[in-house]
Amino acid sequence: MDSMADLGAPLFIDVESVRIRYVRSSRGDERTPVLLVSPFPESLYAYDRIWADLSQAAPLVALDLPGFGQSEGRPELMTSQAMGTFVTQALAGLGLPRVHAIGPDVGTSALLFAASQKPDLFESLVVGSGGADVARTGAGLKDIILAPSTDSVAAMDGADYAAAAIDQRVRSKPAPYVLNDYRASYSGSRAVEAMAYLRAYPTYLPLLQEALPRIHTPVLSTWGATIPSCCPRVRTYLFRYCRIRARLCSIAATSSGTTARGSMRPSCLTGSTAATRPSNPPRQGDGDAGNCD
């Protein structure tokens, strides 16, 4: 299998009365499966370029979080804490008792909350470098989070917003069917509605900060070399709280880059979960790359 196009049409499942879109690789593998959650403004097809490589390491299940991609949304789920709880419920609905989980972008805070709530469900986490602390987000993302309202973007077509965002983030375009899915996922008002999740960060990320010391799941933090809203400073911040091994990855687990697929196969997927706190954690400011914008 060379791409997610070979999987056929995505499936849907009702989780807590919410219709969720997902795809999965072939069954019958006894290895711990990997859950992949969609970033914004992308969809589960963000993993198209690395699906073939990751599927050699473990069974895969990719899903669109509620309100993202083409999953149904609910206003009460559009916070990182509620989304974390939903992730644990989705695992039960999908019949996944324990997983490795990969969640860049909006998935970062959701997965960290989920691991703090139900640690036995997670063998390891691979998270992005955004969505953990508002003060450390890039200027573009911070503008969305802190704007008085979304009135200035209320009239925009979310399909165009998604296409423009991808154009800014990536070095090479995703496959046409992937980009078309992004556009369809956020057409009309869907992108603005999804921004409610980001705009809840000032309320819920401080709660995540309190939860971080309780997370004992091994965590791999990645950040995209071409994604302006993500920054090593957030990795430094997370380093102080979780058992983390940080790694620069120019494809950031999604379609954001062009390097070899093998660079996003974490050792945890092949049996090693030795992502432990380093003996000399970085000091405040170590790894900074100036502004994140």
Structural domains for the chain:
4-270 (3.40.50.1820)
Grouping H, G, I as helix, E, B as strand and the rest as coil, residue 110 is helix
Mean of pLDDT values over 165-176:
86
**pLDDT tens-digit readout, 48-73:** 999 998 988 899 999 999 999 999 99
pLDDT for 176 equals: 95
247 pLDDT above the threshold of 50: no
pLDDT for 238 equals: 53
Alpha helices in the chain (DSSP H): 48-57, 80-93, 106-117, 139-146, 158-169, 176-185, 190-199, 201-211, 232-239
15 pLDDT above the threshold of 90: yes
Q: How far apart are CA 29 and CA 26, in angstroms?
A: 8
Lowest mean pLDDT among 88-92, 246-250, 289-293: 289-293
Mean of pLDDT values over 210-227:
79
What does the angle CA 117 – CA 44 – CA 172 come to, to the nearest 5 degrees? 125
**pLDDT tens-digit readout, 111-121:** 999 999 999 99
Selected residue with higher pLDDT from 53 and 1: 53
pLDDT band for position 87 (cuts 50, 70, 90): very high
Mean of pLDDT values over 141-151:
91
